[in-house]
Amino acid sequence: MGELDPAASAATRQEIGKTSWFARHRHHLAVFGISLCIFAATSADRMLRQSQGPHFVYQADAFLHGMAELRVKPPNNNDWIRYEGKDYVSFPPGPAVLMMPGVALFGLSFNDVLFTLIFAALNVLLMLCVLEMLVAEGLASLSASERLWMTALFGFGTLHYCCAVLGEVWFTAQILGVTFTLSYILCATRARHPLLAGIFLALAFDTRVNLAFTAIYFGLQLVFPLRDGQPAAGRLSQLAEKLALFCLPILCMGAAQMAFNHIRFHSVFEFGHSYLAGPAGTRIAKHGLFAYHYLEWNLRAMLLRLPVLLEDFPYLGYNADGMSIFLTTPVFVRLFWPRERPWLYPVLWAAAIAGILPPLFYQNSGYVQFGYRFSLDVTPYLVMLLAVGRIPMNRWTKGLILVSIAVNLAGAIAFKRTGPI
C-alpha cells in the first residue's frame, strides 16, 4: 500500500479542523445569525440607508484624509460642533476608527445602520459567552436553555434592542460600548487576560467615556476572591505585573484622546461639548457639563418616568425623556431578591454603580430615547447579577422576560417612526 501524499494529508487534517471548529461553535454561530436576522427584520427600511446621525462616518472620513476637523459640511445641525470656523464631532472617536475601512470603500454614504446591526448581533453572542464563562467558573448554575433565556433577555428584552436597529451616533456608541464592555468582562474576570482587558476597556471608554470607571471591575478581581487569606489572582509581584499590563493600553488610549482634544479645542479635557448650541449649550454654560443640578432629572428618567397617555390607539406612548428601567425591562425587579451572593456579586454591583454614576450627573438624560439609554452601559453587569444571584428561572421569571421582550420589541419598531410622543 502506498504512502499518503503529505500535502493531501495536511489538507485533509486542515479540512477536519475546519469542520470540527464549525461543529463546536454551531450554536454560537446560530445565535449570531438568528440575532442578526431579527435585528435586520426589525430595522426594516431603516437599514437600507444611512441614518440621520452619521457623525462617526464623517469623522472616519476626516481621519482618512489626515484631518481632525471635518472635511465636508455636516448634513444637519444635530449635535455637531462649530469651533473657530471648523466643524467637529464631539463624540469619542472609537467607532469612527472602526468605520474607516468601510468609509474608505463607500465614502460618506457608508451605511452606519448596517454597521451597528452587526455589532448588536455580536453583543448577543458575547453575552452568551459571558454566561457560559460564569457557569464554567462555578459562579452561576444556568442550564443550556436557561443561558439562552438570559441571552434573549439581554439582546431583546433590554434597551439594547431599540438601540441596535437605528444606527445614529448616539445609539451606535451605546452598542459598541457594550461590545467592548462584554469583551472586557470576558478578559477581566479572575484577571485572566490583563493586557486584553486593558485594551478592551480602553476601546470602551473611547466610545463611552463613563465606562472608564468600570476599571473597578478588574481592580477588584485582583483582590477577590481570597484563598487562604491571599488574593486568588496571585502573589503581590504577579498582581503588580497584571495591573501594569492592564494599565498600559489604558494610559496610551487616554494620552491619544487627550492629544486629539488639544489639537481640536486647545484643552486636553475638552471633547467639544462646551461648544454645543441650543438648549444643551445653555445648560452647560449655566451649570456645567456634569453637575448635581442634573441628578434628580436623570434619576427620574432612569427609575420613575412613565409612558405618556395618547388619545388614540395604542393609548400609551413612550416618553422621549426616558422611562423607568423597571418598565422597559420588568425582570430587573428580580435584582432585589437574589438567592445567593457569591464573591462576584458585590464586584458586579460596584462596576454597575461606577459605570452609571457619571451619566446621572450629566447635562442630558439621553433625550430622544425609548427608555433611559445610558443604563445600557451597565446592562451586561445587571444581567450577570441575575445569573450570579441564581435567580430561579421559573415561570414567573420567564414571564417577566417575555414581557421585557414584548416591551422592547414595541419600542424597537415604534421608536423614531412615530416620533417622540
Which pLDDT band, with edges at 50, 70 and 90, does 340 fall under? very high
pLDDT in tens, 99-111: 999 999 999 999 9
pLDDT in tens, 20-56: 777 888 999 999 999 999 999 999 999 999 999 999 9
Amino acid making up residue 218: F
Smallest Cα–Cα separation from 243: which of 216, 207, 208? Answer: 216
**Residue 210 above 90 pLDDT?**
yes
Per-residue pLDDT, 419:
46
Smallest Cα–Cα separation from 133: which of 184, 194, 196? Answer: 184
The backbone region for 400, taken as left when phi is positive above 0, alpha when psi lies in -120 to 50, beta otherwise, is alpha
Angstrom distance (rounded) from CA 110 to CA 72: 14
Mean pLDDT of 377-384: 98
Smallest Cα–Cα separation from 393: which of 34, 153, 139, 127? Answer: 153
Would you list the DSSP string of 360-387? HTBS----S-SS-GGGGGGHHHHHHHHH
Compute the radius of gyration of the chain from its Cα atoms: 23
> Can you count the helices (H) and strands (E) in the chain?
17, 6
| CB proximity list for 242: less than 8 A, separation 6 or greater | 191, 194, 222, 233, 234
Q: Where is 57: in which H helix or E strand?
A: helix 55-64
Residue positions counted in the chain: 421
pLDDT in tens, 214-257: 999 999 999 988 765 667 667 888 899 999 999 999 999 999 99
Which pLDDT band, with edges at 50, 70 and 90, does 366 fall under? very high
